[in-house]
Structure 1
């Protein structure tokens, strides 16, 4: 077992307090957005001795993050495998440096991901059904929303939704039209006429991006609120935008993000539209599988990663066996526990501490009083179930 030192990312949407508090530190001077646990080339974890984790683990197929948002993240999509590989090779051929701010493909891998809420966590994920989008757009009644509704009636379904998204991005409404939509949403919320939280969500985002065309697209997306201990899967090609809260993210070891709005970073609206997958993603929540009485396993339908969350109590002196096999990253999410290997090695952990467990450590027990989250690569018998988010 190897204790980890993990890289911190300070994106401007992060929180000064949530991650520092989780790690047992004082509030930061600026935003702390993410902590990366894994072997990704841009921010690899290190062992206590200072070596990159890849030196002892090799390249891991998954990565874990702690993410904390005080305001909305960008409107984004992660590419599927073929598009990621092609985009990475094209930017390499064009001589775009890996750390260039206008680079979109940081590696050749796809990036499905799962979020596990540590606090109440709000996100937008996937398109609403056509009928629901029309229910959202019709009461607003501005020139832009009326035009989009008419377009969608002429061509309903996924292809029609993508077409109007492409129109919003290629011919964005001006600040006056966006302001008119925002004002009308404010009026509708005041009259208690919101539709599936669409108008309230737009108003929340408008506090930070008052003229962004992405506000219009937000009206077409599902609002999902996860309570602590709940999880959702965001497949590659699914449009989404996290709004606020703290979570654990588990994903393939990739940093490929295509943005189309709600950000000061580089945007790639054409590439984002190309990457949109047909799945409408009303199937987003993951129903966990119980393993004994201590562990829940969240396993979306991907090969590279799953997450097991185990709670132990001092009343059970023997603890419980750490779930998963192969390469594992263990993050203590609460309390104080000890990992005990079959050979007697002990790794005490408190909230925020993390450990890499090698494939050779096949029988590790968790004892104490607390909770650990374990990222691992599932075997063929591990399965999860996606359920409707509404």
Structure 2
């Protein structure tokens, strides 16, 4: 069965001015366009275009709650992934996500403590992990992702200390205290905890680094950008501990549990486990639970976590992260795919016909459908850009 689905972009403050509607050829909302959710997450489930196709269900979550065992396949009762179109017009918060075990424990703990699901200080909205991948669809997509080596971080601090020393009012003690944490990779946790806890002299250090960045041309442009949005936030300094990457169109990242990251600018297709568990670590006015964040972060220094696709055919490639919950196929022309469970298909360019074992759908730019598991083998014809999200 092919069931048309749609949704309205979520208007988070960091969203872009019309980039999602421009990509999909839809009417601009007039509000910030941050994320278009395609899936069954109860926080913003996809709307079913023709409820008669789904026994009268108005949204995908309602339909799956009633008939999930029949339409999802592979023994599933919940759709395990969530597909998003994401457009960052301003930096998102620094954040990380829990492992499955951490999510289950945290969700149960907060439930037992009586913390309402809608409370601003709630960390765990559900009992699931939230690994995710992002594929750039704009010409460039900028992000922070994972810790750099301490040697690289130390080099940045030393350069700032040089700028400070050359200024008319140097404050060497500030940088000496920061550099005291910058010895080995094993000190990443101690430096991070010192910065995010924001005790003396961290606020003064943030102010000083922000001022120095104004004189440093492009060398510390990231500091200027972040401070322009989140003045005084210790995340401005934490960002210097992280890998700063600019993806080109078609490149992707995979962000596993514990990876600290932030999307800074650009338009992408994001696919993740169907969870809304976010532990924030700065660059946000929202709740930051420092002890809980420290308990889930991976403080290993690591390279940029690129996710390279592999070819399925001359017209199709697949991004396969090391999780069972999801994979993302990108289609440019005629091809065939096999799916073992339900899928979601989104067209971002051109026109396609998708045929399954018993049904079919015609998709133009901006169109999306839910495909039930019984369709199994998909024959795709057309040209443009089509994304297919499914389990592995």
TM-score, structure 2 as length reference: 0.87
Matched, 1:321 2:336: yes
Matching residue of 1:350: 364
Distance 1:30 1:115 in 2: 23
Q: Structure 1's 81 and 24: CA in aligned 2 closer, same or farther, altered over 3 A? A: same
Cα gap change, 1:228/1:92 in structure 2, threshold over 3 Å: closer, same or farther? same
Which of 56, 59, 78 is the matching residue for 1:52? 59
Q: What pairs up with 1:1-390 in 2 under 5 angstroms?
A: 1-6=2-7, 8-48=9-49, 49=51, 50-53=57-60, 54=64, 55-56=66-67, 57=72, 58-119=77-138, 120-141=140-161, 143-153=173-183, 156-157=184-185, 159-172=186-199, 173=201, 175-188=203-216, 190=217, 194=219, 199-312=220-333, 319-322=334-337, 324-343=339-358, 345-378=359-392
- 2:164 aligned partner: none
DSSP-derived class of the 2:26 partner: coil
SS at match of 2:275: coil
SS in 2 for 1:122: strand
**Aligned 8 A contact 2:134 2:254 in 1:** yes
Shift of 1:359: 1.4
Question: How far is 1:325 from its partner?
Answer: 3.3
- Distance, in Å, in 2 between the alignment partners of 1:280 and 1:358 is 41
| Structure 2 contact 37–82 (Cα < 8 Å) conserved | yes
> Within 1, Cα distance between the matches of 2:234 and 2:121?
20
Distance in 1 separating the partners of 2:324 and 2:13: 32
Please state how far the C-alpha of 1:283 moved relative to its aligned partner.
4.5
2:229 match: secondary structure: coil
Q: In 2, are the aligned partners of 1:16 and 1:30 still within 8 Å (CA)?
A: yes
Contact preservation (8 Å) 1:4, 1:45 = yes
Alignment gaps of 5+ in structure 2: 52-56, 162-171
Instruction: Report what 1:315 is aligned to.
Output: none
Deviates more, 1:275-284 or 1:259-268: 275-284
State the TM-score, normalized to the length of structure 1.
0.88
Residue deviations 1:108-160 (CA, integer Å, cap 9, x gap): 1111110011111100001111111111111111544432222222xx11x31
Partners of 2:121 and 2:268 lie apart in 1 by: 27
> Whose helix proportion is higher, 1 or 2?
2
CA RMSD, aligned part only? 1.8
Deviates more, 1:263-272 or 1:54-63: 54-63
Unaligned runs of 5+ in 1: 313-318, 379-390
Cα pair 2:273 2:325 within 8 Å, conserved: yes
Task: Give the Cα separation in 2 of the matches to 1:322 and 1:201.
Answer: 42
For 2:24 and 2:310, how far apart are their aligned partners in 1? 28
Taking the aligned partners of 1:346 and 1:324, their CA distance within structure 2 comes to 15
Report if aligned partners of 1:77, 1:238 keep a CA contact under 8 Å in 2.
yes
Distance 1:97 1:5 in 2: 29
Change (3 A) 1:130 1:166: same
60-69 or 320-329: bigger deviation: 320-329
**Is the 2:189–2:299 Cα contact (8 Å) retained in structure 1?**
no
1:284 is paired with a residue whose SS is coil
Q: How many residues align?
A: 361
